[in-house]
Amino acid sequence: MRKQMEGSQAVAEAVALCRPEVVCAYPITPQTHIVEGVGALVKSGKLSPCEFINVESEFAALSVAIGSSAAGARSYTATASQGLLFMAEAVYNAAGLGLPIVMTIGNRAIGAPINIWNDHSDSMSMRDSGWIQLFAETNQEAVDLHIQAFKLAERLSCPVMVCMDGFILTHAYEPIDVPGQSQVDEFLPPFEPVQVLDPADPYSIGAMVGPEAFTEVRYLAHQKQLEALTAIPEIAAEFEAIFGRASGGLLQSYHTDGAETIVVALGSVSGSIKEVIDTMREAGVAIGAINITSFRPFPLEELRHELSEAKRIVCLEKSLSPGLGGILASNVRMSRRGTGLPVYTVIAGLGGRPVTRASLTDIFTRAASDDMDDLTFLDLNWEAINEQLSRARDIRHSGPIAENILRTLNPGGVQDASSRSAT
C-alpha cells in the first residue's frame, strides 16, 4: 500500500514482513527509528513469533544475531558509524561463518571528530568483510532491498548489509509502497539452513583453520561474492515478477547512451545528480549518470560495459581514504583498467554537508571540459584550510584537527548586533 511515511518506519515494516525470528539491536543515531519500529511491532504482537532483544552494545547485537542465525533463525539487526566499528570483529566473523544475517546501516560518518550526519565512511570500513553491500537511492528502494536481502543472504549463505543514507533517507517522509504480507511470503520462503546447530545432528562450527586450508576458504568466499553478481539481478527479476516494479539490481544507468561524461555515485545523492543531468542535457551537454546499487560485490564488468563509450568519468562519493583519495573511485578505476581514460574523484557530502545542485552543476561542467584536478573536495572552505595550513607551518600543533581549525574559524564569534539582518 502506498503511503506517505518516514523511511525508517517503512523499513521497519518491510523487515517485519520478512518474518525475522530474532531481532536485536543497540541504539545509535540514525538507525533508532527503524529498530524502535520493529520493536513496537513485536511488542504489539503484529510480528510474531519473534524474539526482540535489547542488547548492551553493537558488538553484542551482531553476536546475538550470529548465535541465532547459526541455530537456524532468520536474524536481523541495524547499526551505523561507531556502532558498525564496534562490532567490526563480529562483522567479519558473520561473513566467515556464512550466516545469512541482514543488517541495515543508516550511513553516518565516523569520528573523530564525532559527527552524527550522513556519509559512507561506515559502510566503506567494512567493504572487505565479505558482506554483500547494497546501497539504496530512495526509501522505496530501501524497502525493496531489505526484502530482496533476506532472499539473497539465504540463497548464498552470505550476510547482507543494506545501506541507506542517515537522516537524508532514514528521517525523510516520502511516498512509499510497502508490500503486503502475502506478496512477501510468496517471494521469500522460510529460512532452511543446511548447516545448523541442532542436538539431533551435531556440527562443530567455527574451528581454527591453518595455512594449509585458509587460502581455499578465502577463495571460496570471493567466489561467493562473484556468484552474487548473478544472484542479485536474478532476485531483482524475481522481485519484479511478484511486486510489479523494478528495484535493486547491480546498477542503474541514466542517460548514459552517447554520454561523454558519466557521473558514478552511490545512494541518495544520485537523485540530486539526476536533476542536474537533466538540466545540463537540456543545455546540450552530453552527460549521464550511473547509480551503483551493489557496491560489494563490485560490478566490474557491468560498469566497464556501461562506461565503455564515455570519455571521462566523475566519481562523486561520500567517502575518503586519507592518504590515497577516493574509495568508490579506486573501485571504479578497476573497471577502466587498460583504457587510460580519466576518472575524476569528487569527495562530497562528508559528515552531512549538503550536496547542492549548484555545486554539482559547477563541478560537472568543469569535468566535461577536463578543467578539473584528479581529486576535488566539493565546497571546501579554502580560506579556513589555507589559514590553518599557514599557521601550522609557523607553529607545530598537536591534537585534534577540529579543535585546531577553530582558531581560524572565529570561535565563540557571537554575531554583533550590527551584522544582523536589518528590520
* Chain centre distance of CA 418: 45
Q: How far is the CB of 371 from other proteins (least distance, A)?
A: 24
Question: Residues 61, 35: contact at Cβ < 8 Å?
Answer: no
174 contacts other proteins (rule: CB under 8 A) = yes
CB-nearer residue toward other proteins: 227 or 379:
379
Find the binder of other proteins among 127, 274, 312, 318 (CB under 8 A). Answer: 274
Window contacting other proteins (CB under 8 A); options: 33-41, 52-60, 227-235, 375-383: 52-60
CB-nearer residue toward other proteins: 393 or 420:
420
Q: How far is the CB of 165 from other proteins (least distance, A)?
A: 8
What track of x and - describes contact with other proteins for positions 335 through 354 (by CB under 8 A)? -----------------x-x
Window contacting other proteins (CB under 8 A); options: 127-135, 163-171, 319-327, 393-401: 163-171
CA distance 78 to 163: 10
Go through the chain and tell me how many residues it has.
423
CA distance 193 to 201: 13
**CA-CA distances (angstroms) from residue 99 to 34, 91, 131, 220, 234?**
22, 10, 10, 15, 21
CB-nearer residue toward other proteins: 48 or 369:
48
CB-nearer residue toward other proteins: 200 or 395:
200
Q: How far is the CB of 356 from other proteins (least distance, A)?
A: 5
Contacts to other proteins from residues 204-243, by CB under 8 A: 204-210, 213
Q: How far is the CB of 358 from other proteins (least distance, A)?
A: 8
CA distance 51 to 20: 9
Residue 200 grid cell:
539431533
Angle at 181 (CA atoms; ends 177, 186), nearest 5 degrees: 105
CA atoms within 13 A on the CB side of 261: 25
Find the binder of other proteins among 8, 31, 63, 79 (CB under 8 A). Answer: 63
CB-nearer residue toward other proteins: 93 or 335:
93
89 contacts other proteins (rule: CB under 8 A) = yes
Window contacting other proteins (CB under 8 A); options: 226-234, 239-247, 264-272, 366-374: 264-272
44 contacts other proteins (rule: CB under 8 A) = no
One-letter amino acid of 13: E
CA distance 92 to 106: 19
Find the binder of other proteins among 68, 252, 256, 331 (CB under 8 A). Answer: 68
Window contacting other proteins (CB under 8 A); options: 201-209, 307-315, 385-393, 395-403: 201-209
Find the binder of other proteins among 8, 79, 93, 331 (CB under 8 A). Answer: 93
DSSP 324: T
DSSP 97-153: TT---EEEEEE----SSP--S--SHHHHHTTTSS-EEEE-SSHHHHHHHHHHHHHHH
